Amino acid sequence: MKRRSKTSAARAQWTKKHLLGIEDLTKEEILLILDQAEGFREIIERAIPKVPALRGKTIVNLFCEPSTRTRTSFELAAKRLSADTVNIAMAASSFQKGETLKDTVRNIEAMKIDMVIIRHSSAGVPKFLSGCTKAAIVNAGDGAHEHPTQALLDVFTMRKHLGRIEGLNVSIIGDIAHSRVARSNIWALKKLGANVTVSGPKTMMPARMEEMGVRVVYDIGAAIKGADVLNVLRIQLERQETPLFPGTREYVKCFGIDKERLAKHAKKDVLIMHPGPINRGVELSQDAADGEYSVILDQVKNGVAVRMAVLFLLSVSK
Ligand code: CP
């Protein structure tokens, strides 16, 4: 009898049609994606980084908010798997003439497509669209709600560098209130058994964060001390209706991560992560962003493998 390959076995275990958030995934589903991504990580290092796994599939990138990493990463992931890709620039689409997002997606679907990767400034848009189309929907960031593939690539990077997630001390620092990355990371890390601390100005800390099973500290030294990983977040000025701190200098003084602060409080081999884009000199100094413990560009590279895994697993419609 023929033995099934590891990849087809993984696909057979996968049951979800959409990827809407990490909250919806089990620990086993997260691990399935991470393990699948390990194989794809090897493929993207090859001289010809392409496999025919999604030949014949069509994937649409529908980004209604700016993006550099996520959009490019999804497009590359689809191309590495031999899918056809279409990018829709919302600013040049009929959305500008008043067409609804639902009509946009249903019209695209009429042209026979298989998946839609959606980024939107409103929380819940991916879930809404998943009820309007037969295509698989992938959340590429919805408002301050979730950014599931960012969390998956973050935990993949931690596991790659530190060998495990269970028992790791991970501190997430910055604008927690507006961060979909923070929320998705907390879901993923807690499901995988890490100890999570969140830190930032009180004005950027949602109420009742402890109910997500995290430690909340307002002293940056305490957040850094004992951490295996510092995941430093961008201050999201575009989502703040009124300024939430007196000024950039104040923020840097109280919460900025720089070489001096790391030398004073951090474990000597702490991993420095950031989802990007970085406000250099604000949440991260130049030397911390580019220093020997920074794995920020590795996160970006791993993002392609992780997104290949997501597209591959979702490509069998349930
Ligand atoms: N991390 C992230 O979502 O980056 P982009 O906004 O550039 O996609």
Compute and round to an integer the Cα radius of gyration of the chain: 20
Average pLDDT over the chain, rounded to whole? 94
Residue 1 has pLDDT above 50, yes or no: no
pLDDT, tens only, 178-232: 999 999 999 999 999 999 999 999 999 999 999 999 999 999 999 999 999 999 9
Place of tokens 């130049």: 286
- List, in order of start, the domains of the chain with CATH numbers: 6-144+301-315 (3.40.50.1370), 148-299 (3.40.50.1370)
The Cα 107–Cα 99 span in angstroms is 10
Smallest CA separation from ligand 1 atom 4, residue:
69
Best mutation site among 63, 69, 121, 142 for ligand 1, i.e. most ligand atoms within 8 A of its Cβ? 69
Question: Which residues does ligand 1 sit against, CB inside 6 Å?
Answer: 67-70, 141, 150, 275-277
Amino acid 80: pLDDT: 98
Nearest-CA residue for atom 5 of ligand 1 = 67
Q: Is the pLDDT of residue 245 over 60?
A: yes
Alpha carbon nearest to ligand 1 atom 3, residue:
70
Q: Tell me, in angstroms, the distance from the centre of ligand 1 to residue 160's CA.
A: 21
- Strand 169-173 versus strand 215-217 pairing type: unpaired
Report the alpha-carbon distance of residue 306 to residue 312 in Å, rounded: 10
pLDDT score for 195: 98
64/118 Cα distance (integer angstroms): 8
| Preceding amide of 277 cis, omega within 30 | yes
How far away, in angstroms, is 154 Cα from ligand 1 center?
A: 13
Instruction: State the distance from the centre of ligand 1 to the C-alpha of 147, rounded, in angstroms.
Output: 9
How far is the C-alpha of 162 from the C-alpha of 155, rounded, in Å? 10
Cα 124 to middle of ligand 1, angstroms:
18
The contacts of residue 292 (CB under 8 Å, 6+ apart) are none
Protein residue closest via CA to atom 1 of ligand 1? 275
Q: Phi/psi of residue 238, each to 5°?
A: -70, -20
Cα→Cα distances 313→33, 36, 191, 308, Å = 8, 9, 20, 9
Give the mean pLDDT of 301-308. Answer: 98
pLDDT at 71: 98
46 pLDDT band (50/70/90 cuts)? very high
Confidence of residue 89 (pLDDT cuts 50, 70, 90): confident
Asked whether residue 239 carries a pLDDT value surpassing 70, the answer given is no
Helix (H) or strand (E) holding 114: none
Strands annotated E in the chain: 58-63, 84-89, 115-120, 136-142, 169-173, 195-199, 215-217, 229-232, 271-273
Give 63 Cα–ligand 1 centroid separation in angstroms.
Answer: 11
Task: Tell me which of 74-78, 88-92, 191-195 is least confident.
Answer: 88-92
Mean pLDDT value of segment 244-271: 92
* pLDDT confidence of residue 237: 66
Query: What's the CA-to-centroid distance between 266 and ligand 1, angstroms?
Result: 27
Q: Which of 61, 67, 142, 233 to mutate to test the pocket of ligand 1 (most atoms within 8 A of CB)?
A: 67
- Bridge partners of residue 61, in order along the sequence: 87, 117
CA distances from 285 to 54, 248, 274, 279, 296 (A): 41, 13, 12, 9, 13
| CA 176–ligand 1 middle distance (angstroms) | 16
User: How far apart are the C-alpha atoms of 309 and 149, rounded to whole Å?
Assistant: 10
Range of weakest confidence among 20-29, 83-92, 112-121, 268-277: 83-92
Range of lowest pLDDT (232-241, 245-254, 282-291): 232-241
> Over 60: is that where the pLDDT of 49 sits?
yes
